[in-house]
Amino acid sequence: MKRIVGKKEILMVLAMALTGSMNAELNDNLFPLINNVPGRSTLSLNGQWDYIIDRYGTGYYDYRLKPSSNGFFRDQQARSESDLVEYNFEQSPDMFIPHDWNTWDDELKYYEGIVWFRKVFDPDRKEDKRYFLYFGAVNYNALVYLNGTYLGSHKGGFTPFNFEITNRINDGNNTLIVMVDNTRDKDEVPTVNTDWWNYGGITRDVMIIEEPETFIIDYSIRLSGDTYKEISGWIQMDGSNLQIPVTVEIPDLKAEVTVVPDESGRAAFAMKAKPVLWSPENPVLYRVVISTPGSTVDDLIAFRHVEAVGNKIHLNGKPVYLRGICIHEEAPFRQGRLSTPEEARTLLQWAREMNCNFVRLAHYPHNEHMVREAEKMGIMVWSEIPVYWTISFDNPETLGNAKNQLEEMITRDRNRGAVIIWSLANETPVSDARNQFLTSLVHYARELDDTRLISMAMEKQYRDRFTPVIRDPLMDVVDVVSFNSYIGWYDGLPEKCARMNWDLNTGKPAIMSEFGGGALQGLHGSSSQRWTEEFQEELYRQHVAMFEKMDLAGTTPWILMDFMSPRRLLPGIQDGVNRKGLISNNGIRKKAFYIMQDWYKTK
């Protein structure tokens, strides 16, 4: 059903009304992102939440399109038989959070708009503690209220955010209400046009974090360069007594150091240690304990070193071929957003079965479960933000949004050694505005984290009919030149691969970050019949033969598993599903899966 008002108008008026400012910004009132939430004292708010579908924005606006004093955030209930209240969370349906609404309620399969969520909870509140409300992700815009008071807002569907609620949380029952809007817009990140399902809702964990008045909010712990004999980093404190001793201890290495932060609460440290280096063959994780007199944060950290050396990627000083696969954050054996460690582990186990040592998590930061499970399993990770196709590159607000999502992605995962590449874009059309936009993101990524490689998925061109080249001006800015190529699917037929004479003389490692074609699992025919498993199998057979003549640092076929996409409309074949997966969305391997499995044994 078409809404009568636009998303931007709703959110702008909401923000103005709630903050009292004509210049109110989205992502307002956020507390700086707290790192390593799983390693802290938390109360889960996952579980059953009430929800109300609000197609016309009735939950905030009156019939004059002005803010209503009786908006849904007030959670009003009729106190007598004569009271007029035209909504009721108590009598509304429930949804288990985290979950997307599209696959929870048939009425919401294609829905893009506003849904209100309510959770009533009773924490064990302590007077000497601080409390923070943490969301793993909400797609896409979220306005958050606690006990009828506006906390703030956040935009971006795949990164975490948090608010301090110390002075707003009650000793008894508390009512948390979140307005979620997943309407697409050309100026957002991602933009209107994508090739994945726009899953709306509170799609990742919701938690209350408990901390002392002064606590460790963020930190970075890593190997010092390529010496492999020193571990260094920094600690950031928050609170009123910032200059208290902070101890970093790695018990299994018998390494420990104590530092005192400066007036800003920041302290750098270094200590001698020789950890066993993390690798796909030996994914060693060390328990790291960061403590102050009043608090402790536990983490499991992988120590490794990654760098680009000429046209190779080196892990721990040795060349490594990235035997990869692309993955969307879609759950195996059911449709919808992945939400549990078990579902993440299933996808990663399928990748390992294919002999992968690397995954490209496309096209947005995935659930933290995915990154942490990959680290445990010894799988290297490419993580990217959804600067996808034709973003509004000339809009400063769009750039600000992209930078915020980049910062939230890096802050969450800067201590995850499995992540070796930050990717900042996918298949973006070359222009001056785009080049400036993405160059700004590259510089910002390096400012936030200088220990990883930077890349983005580019597109190929042709010097002549059979000589593909990469001519993107941002080749000079990134550390790894990655490119997508669909020879044999969108570009000719599979046999065209044999005639290609690639020119990849970039002086940098090159990754073919996408290739492949579609097949309906169970549809069989000749190798020239499109959509059959045999066509896809032949396409992959031709590709691996072509790769033997190319100087690549890695490959990531598109894609591990079939996934939902409104762009894919062919009846009887696609039916709203992108069929390029090497595994069906029911977990059945297609014939092309075994082509990659066998070839990766040789790499």
Boundaries of every domain in the chain: 7-212, 215-304, 307-517+553-562
What's this model's pTM, rounded to 2 decimal places? 0.94
Per-residue model confidence (pLDDT) at position 26: 57
Give the whole-angstrom CA distance, residue 305 versus residue 4: 53
Per-residue model confidence (pLDDT) at position 226: 81
200 in Cβ contact with 182 (< 8 Å) = yes
Instruction: Please state the CATH superfamily assignment of the domain spanning residues 215-304 in this structure.
Output: Immunoglobulins (2.60.40.10)
Per-residue model confidence (pLDDT) at position 4: 33
Q: Give the architecture-level CATH label for domain 307-517+553-562.
A: Alpha-Beta Barrel (3.20)
- Phi then psi for residue 95, to 5 deg, are -135, 140
Mean pLDDT confidence for 440-446:
98
pLDDT band of residue 65 (cuts 50, 70, 90) is: confident
Q: Summarize pLDDT for 331-349 with one digit per residue, the tens.
A: 999 999 999 999 999 999 9
pLDDT band of residue 36 (cuts 50, 70, 90) is: very high
Contacts of residue 322, defined as CB under 8 A and 6 or more positions apart, other chains included, come to 313, 357, 358, 380, 511, 553, 554, 555, 556
Percent of the chain with pLDDT over 70: 96
Per-residue model confidence (pLDDT) at position 219: 98
Q: Summarize pLDDT for 522-551 with one digit per residue, the tens.
A: 999 999 999 999 999 999 999 999 999 999
Rounded to 10 degrees, the C-alpha dihedral 90/95/100/103 comes to -120
pLDDT at 17 over 90: no
pLDDT at 20 over 70: no
Give the whole-angstrom CA distance, residue 552 versus residue 547: 8
Per-residue model confidence (pLDDT) at position 19: 34
Instruction: Enter the tokens of residue 61.
Output: 């606006």
Mean pLDDT confidence for 456-468:
96
575 in Cβ contact with 593 (< 8 Å) = no
Bigger pLDDT: 227 vs 423? 423
569 in Cβ contact with 576 (< 8 Å) = yes
Mean pLDDT confidence for 227-248:
96
Per-residue model confidence (pLDDT) at position 225: 83
Give the whole-angstrom CA distance, residue 560 versus residue 575: 19
| Domain pair 7-212 / 215-304, same fold | no
Per-residue model confidence (pLDDT) at position 12: 42
Per-residue model confidence (pLDDT) at position 531: 98
pLDDT at 15 over 50: no
Bigger pLDDT: 331 vs 2? 331
Instruction: Please state the CATH superfamily assignment of the domain spanning residues 7-212 in this structure.
Output: Galactose-binding domain-like (2.60.120.260)
Give the whole-angstrom CA distance, residue 385 versus residue 397: 16
DSSP state of 99: -
Mean pLDDT confidence for 354-362:
98
Mean pLDDT confidence for 158-173:
96
